[in-house]
Amino acid sequence: MELSHLNTHGKLQMVDVGNKPPMVRRATAAGSITLQPQTIQKICNGVVVKGDVLAAARMAGIMGAKKTSEVIPLCHPLYIEHIDVEASVRSDGVEVLAKVRSTGATGVEMEALTAVSVALLTIYDMCKAIDKQMVIRDIVLLEKTKEEVNK
């Protein structure tokens, strides 16, 4: 099996995507953070001292997706056309869903996964003073698609 991120000498390399045709690429990722009931209540009531937790998480997720190639060593910098990050309160915490779209030669799954991860870490940071039992869980890629540009 040939690994695309290794050169002929077994050294790490960035994959050459220069000859790949541009495609419309989409990815959706999700994850969650479990929180204590009192933390969920404070988020819902907007009384977390650091501010609006859900708005901060959404913005952080967008920013994280845009910076993916700066923190994941072999990711290509991409022109991202759209990022949607949702943070929804659930009975046991907050669920984050990120959707990313780009037209290019490589997929956007790492950007979607990074968006979710950064959003969840932001929630953790904003609530760490009031909840010592938070757990980030189940960061997963839900979908990855590509289609020809002319469709």
Report whether 43 contacts 56 (CB < 8 A). Answer: no
DSSP state of 76: P
Q: Where are the alpha helices (DSSP H) in the chain?
A: 37-45, 53-66, 68-71, 109-127
Radius of gyration from C-alpha coordinates of the chain: 18
User: Mutual orientation of helices 109-127 and 37-45 as an angle, nearest 10°?
Assistant: 100
Catalytic pick among 52, 84, 92, 125? 125
The closest of 97, 104, 69 to 83, measured between CA atoms, is 97
Among residues 34, 149, 145, 138, the alpha carbon closest in space to that of 99 is found at 145
Q: Does residue 125 carry a catalytic annotation?
A: yes
Residues known to be catalytic: 125
